[in-house]
Amino acid sequence: MSKNTKTSFFCQNCGAQYSQWMGQCKACGEWNTIVEEIIEKRTKRNFPSNKSISSNIIKIHDIETVHEDRIISGDSELDFLLGGGIVPGSVILIGGEPGIGKSTLLLQLSLQINKKVLYVSGEESAIQIKMRGDRIKYSNSDCYILTETSIEKIIKKSIELKPELLIIDSIQTLSSSYIDSSPGSISQIRECASELIKYAKSSSTPIFLVGHITKDGTIAGPKILEHMVDVVLQFEGDRNYMFRLLRSHKNRYGSTSELGIYEMFQDGLRQVKNPSEILISKKDENLSGNAIAVTLEGLRPMLVEIQALVSTAVYGTPQRATTGFDIKRLNILLAVLEKRAGFHLGSKDVFLNITGGIKIDDPAVDLGVICAILSSNENVSLPDNCLFAGEVGLSGEIRAINRIEQRILEAEKLGYDVIFISKYNKIDIDKFNIKIELVGKVDDVYKMLF
């Protein structure tokens, strides 16, 4: 190997770097994932550039503040997630499982935005992209397709075309001639991402990158890509449901706690304006074990349906299973019911489900989970016009939660009559048109409902 070439060892699963080969990665624990890669080849590069960046030292007070308007994509969910639109010169990474809809989302964005777009694909041919585009109802005459994997050629074509939006599908398929590693390796991903970021910052062109994920659900080479880009979005969902969730894990230009919801159809992804209406089942009769809770995803209040099933353990050892809810949190709530409220659930199977295929980690749904479990245990249905919002503490108390007024207004807007909240929330209950029940302990809720 040439003396001008520098190599190192990388884990292909998590991106950890080592000075020598090891059988097991100390960072992620995977075996036989560490390979040697060329990380530097001392060859002079002649990348074209359409704009030079000054490197002079300057006082912060002497820097002129320039207001750049965000680009409105036409997708209200995506604009909301990005903090009001696409920032010029930003680099946005979208990760997700294969087939979840990443390419469909970005092709739909390319066809509905009123800008010049260059869509670069290293995985599909132009004919395949055209077939997918024919199913989408939008049309953009300034959408250009390039099927290429060489980063040098992609940047050269971009400088010639000067697009207002560049989409790369995907970063793992690109390669640089200055790195001898295969496409998808850690060194190639870092090199290609670095060149694209330089181009984005120098030309003020926003770039969308599609990233593959590892088997544990994280973006391949996460510590490399996530630290380099400006925004990291995770596209997720259950294939058994039509709903797709777009979450923000990093955003230099907005909040990281927002959520965008889509529904998958034959002609593309449709935005879900009111997720509460589609996440709650329409039933002809009230059934035991069902409760409605109010949760928050970022700044957006949302109603979710909680289903619980409590039955006698057949084989002696009780089972605990959840879908969309933390199993450890369920065990804590069951222990609170057993110790503080006197319900003997230690010998019973408990199954819990959050309908719609979404995952909830908001502690405000604790009260809804408790009521669904008690309803199934007593085999008594809850009133269909009531819902719950409160955190349950280890002493059995109902604790106050944040942004309670937003949750109450969402329940009021959807036509509910009663909401159970903690009495420790300091609010003026007279200004709402919905009946508010203030409770302090689990016992108080049980006496009111059963």
Which of 58-62, 190-194, 256-260, 323-327 is predicted least confidently?
256-260
Phi-psi region of 264 (alpha: psi -120 to 50; beta: other; left: phi over 0): beta
Q: For residue 190, name the pLDDT band (cuts at 50, 70, 90).
A: confident
**Parent domain of 225:** 73-273
pLDDT confidence of residue 256:
80
d(CA 280, CA 294) in angstroms, rounded, equals 11
pLDDT confidence of residue 266:
84
Higher pLDDT, 22 or 47: 22
What is the tally of structural domains in the chain?
Answer: 3
- What mean pLDDT comes out for the span 157-180? 91
Residues 372 and 443 grouped into a single domain: yes
Burial track 41-71 (b if 16+ CB lie within 10 A, e otherwise): beeeeeeeeeeeeeeeeeeeeeeeeeeeebb
Q: What is the pLDDT of residues 222-233, one digit of tens each?
A: 467 888 899 999
Domain finish residue from 273, 296, 331: 273
**Binding-site sequence positions:** 96-103
Residues 241 and 116 grouped into a single domain: yes
Q: Tokens for 429?
A: 């209950």
The answer on pLDDT for 44 being more than 50 is no
Residues 442 and 295 grouped into a single domain: yes
pLDDT confidence of residue 364:
94
Q: For residue 4, name the pLDDT band (cuts at 50, 70, 90).
A: low
pLDDT confidence of residue 138:
83
Burial track 133-169 (b if 16+ CB lie within 10 A, e otherwise): beebebebeebebbebebbbebbebbbeeebbbbbbb
Residue 351: CA count within 13 A, CB half-sphere: 5
Residues 299 and 259 grouped into a single domain: no
Q: What is the pLDDT of residues 229-249, one digit of tens each?
A: 999 998 887 666 677 888 888
**Binding-site sequence positions for ATP:** 96-103
Which of 186-195, 218-227, 240-249, 387-396 is predicted least confidently?
218-227
d(CA 297, CA 361) in angstroms, rounded, equals 10
Residue 32 lies in a domain: yes
Instruction: Compute the Cα dihedral for 193, 198, 175, 117 and give only its sign.
Output: positive
d(CA 103, CA 98) in angstroms, rounded, equals 10
Shortest CA distance to 374 belongs to which of 420, 425, 405? 420
Q: Is the peptide bond preceding residue 158 cis, with omega within 30 degrees of 0?
A: no
Q: For residue 264, name the pLDDT band (cuts at 50, 70, 90).
A: confident
Residues 148 and 218 grouped into a single domain: yes
Beta strand 34-41 with 117-121: parallel, antiparallel or unpaired?
A: unpaired
Higher pLDDT, 254 or 308: 308
